[in-house]
């Protein structure tokens, strides 16, 4: 970052006060992230239901299959957008401007979704993806800038507080947006998400004075020639994409599944290209090469984990809508409310797990990183084993529905699995990445979610022909087998990791 902010230089107007003992600027970034996540998880909570109900034509079963595919691929696109979004901040604008422009674009995207038009709907999704790519990675960079020159423990505490902002926004979003979307009007729900993002932008601007010079300048400004080279590539690939779409439409063969399939392929190809580029880079030392080989194991396992985990917003939401008894007294609560369960559990369990790992480490009994990943896979597999039983119970029920406790159990097991993998993997990425490749390795960690969601563009289509019981049981077996495989290979992986623990 061009202008680092140390503890001494942080004495900017208003910084005499703190935010829960942290720099005053944390309040600005905390609220920005909370409202941005409110808008994102609110929209995402009703996305699949809206696709099934209002956008996609055709038989109901086909609509559900395609809706789940679009949901998975769209999530992948949003995660992939963080890579160019980070480049724009690092080389062109600086994080401060990237977050502001990203927030404005996201708000415009949500308001575009509020327009009752299929065309407006997909334009709105595109705007949200672009805006999130600019905002999401760079707001985290600015959080790190608040703690430049300060102890790592204080930085970790700051990111823990920031993590709470994400989950607070994610917890309340489906309750508000989901209710309005399902019970009043879909487009009103999308508009409510837009209002949340607008609040994020307004308070980000008003609280900007507490951020000092953080993110005002790009870390490594691109030269004029680099800008021209990137612009040429963008124009070429955009032209190819537009030409292919026009040809498809003119030929009368256009189908939205063509775009879904293309983006799914892209989600798989991008991380493969990144790994190949790292291995072929002469700057990768003989000492670091085994660590990257070990990281491939963690990456592939994370892809499978997120592929299963992120079906909560697609197939599990459809299951909640159609096959779960949601009656409380004489009132049926919205299916999207289930999307609040996971962030609520994260808020409760994250501090417990953080304390647990510290306590076990003091007794020299903390599980190794490979063992934590293996446990995560066993747990995510167990969650889908429960879903398989829930599917069978719904099929054999007179009403075709099961109680809320099935899905609540699934989300509890998944959240425990998330605690074993998500924060552990993020920390592992920072420890295993060679200094010259730390940006790429961090990008690859987030791309694991993108690849998992991209694969969902295809895998969720198996649900309809197989049925719930067989489909969820199949993935449970695969995930549990992967967990045991990772456990078995743990010694070899630890050897490749070298001095990283």
Q: Tell me phi and psi for residue 456, to 5 degrees.
A: -65, -20
In the 3-class helix/strand/coil scheme, how is 398-434 assigned residue by residue? CCCCECHHHHHHHHHHHHHHHHHHHHHHHHHHHHHCC
Q: Which two tokens stand for residue 464?
A: 């309809």
Q: Which two tokens stand for residue 402?
A: 């099961």
Please list the residues that pair with 402 across neighbouring strands.
324
In the block, tokens 């099934």 appear at: 52
Condensed to tens digits (0 to 9), the pLDDT of residues 326-379 reads 998 888 999 999 999 999 998 998 888 878 888 888 888 888 889 999 999 999
Nearest-angstrom CA–CA distance, 281 and 272: 14
Q: Is the pLDDT of residue 120 over 50?
A: yes
Residue % of the chain over a pLDDT of 90: 54
Q: Is the pLDDT of residue 4 over 60?
A: no
Closest CA to 166 of 354, 38, 311, 339: 38
At residue 427 the predicted structure's pLDDT band, cuts being 50, 70 and 90, is confident
At residue 7 the predicted structure's pLDDT band, cuts being 50, 70 and 90, is very low
The whole-number pLDDT of residue 181 equals 95
CB of 21 closer than 8 Å to CB of 158 = no
pLDDT (average), residues 6-22: 55
CB of 442 closer than 8 Å to CB of 271 = no
Q: Is the pLDDT of residue 13 over 70?
A: no
pLDDT (average), residues 155-174: 86
The whole-number pLDDT of residue 96 equals 94
pLDDT (average), residues 123-146: 90
Q: Which two tokens stand for residue 20?
A: 């829960």
CB of 414 closer than 8 Å to CB of 312 = yes
Q: Which two tokens stand for residue 479?
A: 């995930």
pLDDT (average), residues 242-249: 91
At residue 1 the predicted structure's pLDDT band, cuts being 50, 70 and 90, is very low
The whole-number pLDDT of residue 152 equals 61
CB-CB neighbours of 329 under 10 Å: 5
The whole-number pLDDT of residue 290 equals 92
The whole-number pLDDT of residue 343 equals 93
Closest CA to 23 of 146, 152, 139, 153: 146
pLDDT (average), residues 422-443: 76
CB of 146 closer than 8 Å to CB of 22 = yes
CB of 464 closer than 8 Å to CB of 65 = yes
At residue 145 the predicted structure's pLDDT band, cuts being 50, 70 and 90, is confident
CB-CB neighbours of 153 under 10 Å: 8
At residue 91 the predicted structure's pLDDT band, cuts being 50, 70 and 90, is confident
Q: Give one word for 5, left, alpha or beta, with left for phi > 0 and alpha for psi -120 to 50.
A: beta
Condensed to tens digits (0 to 9), the pLDDT of residues 224-233 reads 999 999 999 9
Q: Is the pLDDT of residue 478 over 80?
A: yes
At residue 452 the predicted structure's pLDDT band, cuts being 50, 70 and 90, is very high
> Average pLDDT of the chain?
88
Nearest-angstrom CA–CA distance, 302 and 349: 20
Q: Is the pLDDT of residue 449 over 80?
A: yes
Q: Which of 3-17, 127-141, 250-264 has the lowest mean pLDDT?
A: 3-17
pTM across the whole model: 0.85
Q: Tell me phi and psi for residue 161, to 5 degrees.
A: -60, -40
At residue 177 the predicted structure's pLDDT band, cuts being 50, 70 and 90, is very high
CB of 71 closer than 8 Å to CB of 463 = no
Q: Is the pLDDT of residue 12 over 60?
A: no
Q: Is the pLDDT of residue 501 over 70?
A: no
Q: Tell me phi and psi for residue 402, to 5 degrees.
A: -120, 170
In the block, tokens 């609220």 appear at: 31
The whole-number pLDDT of residue 457 equals 86
The whole-number pLDDT of residue 356 equals 86
pLDDT (average), residues 436-452: 80
In the block, tokens 């927030």 appear at: 103
CA dihedral angle for residue 154, residue 155, residue 160, residue 162, rounded to 10 degrees: 120
User: b/e per residue, 190-222, with b = 16+ CB within 10 A?
Assistant: bbbbbbbbbbbbebbeebbebbbbbbbbbeeeb
In three-state secondary structure terms, 310 is: helix
Closest CA to 308 of 65, 473, 137: 473
Condensed to tens digits (0 to 9), the pLDDT of residues 41-59 reads 999 999 999 999 888 777 8
Closest CA to 198 of 413, 43, 38, 342: 38
In the block, tokens 């647990």 appear at: 356
Residue % of the chain over a pLDDT of 70: 95
The whole-number pLDDT of residue 439 equals 63
Closest CA to 374 of 449, 295, 296, 486: 486
Q: Which two tokens stand for residue 5?
A: 């902010």
At residue 268 the predicted structure's pLDDT band, cuts being 50, 70 and 90, is confident
């Amino acid at each position: 970052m061009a202008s680092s902010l140390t503890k001494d230089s942080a004495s900017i107007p208003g910084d005499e006060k703190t935010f829960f003992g942290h720099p005053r600027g944390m309040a600005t970034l905390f609220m920005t992230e909370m409202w941005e996540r409110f808008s994102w998880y609110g929209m995402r909570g009703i996305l699949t239901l809206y696709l099934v109900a209002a956008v996609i034509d055709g038989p109901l079963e086909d609509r559900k299959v395609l809706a789940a595919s679009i949901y998975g691929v769209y999530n992948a696109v949003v995660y992939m957008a963080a890579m160019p979004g980070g480049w724009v901040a690092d080389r062109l604008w600086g994080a401060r401007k990237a977050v502001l422009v990203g927030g404005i674009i996201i708000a415009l995207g949500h308001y575009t979704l509020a327009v009752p038009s299929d065309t407006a709907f997909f334009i709105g999704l595109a705007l949200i993806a672009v805006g999130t790519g600019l905002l999401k990675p760079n707001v985290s960079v600015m959080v790190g800038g608040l703690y430049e020159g300060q102890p790592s423990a204080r930085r970790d505490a700051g990111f823990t507080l920031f993590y709470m902002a994400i989950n607070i926004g994610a917890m309340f979003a489906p309750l508000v947006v989901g209710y309005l979307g399902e019970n009043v009007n879909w487009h009103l729900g999308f508009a409510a998400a837009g209002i949340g993002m607008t609040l994020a932008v307004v308070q980000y601007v008003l609280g900007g004075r507490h951020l000092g010079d953080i993110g005002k300048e790009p870390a490594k400004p691109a030269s004029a020639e680099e800008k021209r080279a990137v612009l040429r590539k963008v124009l070429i690939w955009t032209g190819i994409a537009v030409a292919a779409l026009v040809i498809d439409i003119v030929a009368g063969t256009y189908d939205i599944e063509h775009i879904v399939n293309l983006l799914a392929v892209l989600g798989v190809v991008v991380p493969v290209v990144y790994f190949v580029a790292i291995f072929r880079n002469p700057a990768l030392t003989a000492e670091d090469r085994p660590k990257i080989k070990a990281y491939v194991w963690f990456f592939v396992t994370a892809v499978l984990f997120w592929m299963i985990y992120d079906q909560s917003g697609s197939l599990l939401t459809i299951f909640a809508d159609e096959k779960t008894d949601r009656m409380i007294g004489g009132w049926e609560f919205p299916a999207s409310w289930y999307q609040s369960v996971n962030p609520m559990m994260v808020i409760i369990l994250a501090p417990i797990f953080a304390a647990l790992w510290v306590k076990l480490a003091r007794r020299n009994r903390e599980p190794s990183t490979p063992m934590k990943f293996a446990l995560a896979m066993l747990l995510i597999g167990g969650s889908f084993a429960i879903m398989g039983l829930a599917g069978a119970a719904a099929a054999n029920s007179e009403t075709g529905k099961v109680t809320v406790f099935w899905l609540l159990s699934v989300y509890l097991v998944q959240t425990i699995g998330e605690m074993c993998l998500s924060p552990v993997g993020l920390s592992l990425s920072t420890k295993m990445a060679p200094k010259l490749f730390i940006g790429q390795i961090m990008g690859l960690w987030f791309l694991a979610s993108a690849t998992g969601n991209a694969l969902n563009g295809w895998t969720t289509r198996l649900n309809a022909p197989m049925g719930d019981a067989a489909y969820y049981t199949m993935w449970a077996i695969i995930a549990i087998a992967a967990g045991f495989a990772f456990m078995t290979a743990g010694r070899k992986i630890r050897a490749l990791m070298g001095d990283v623990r």
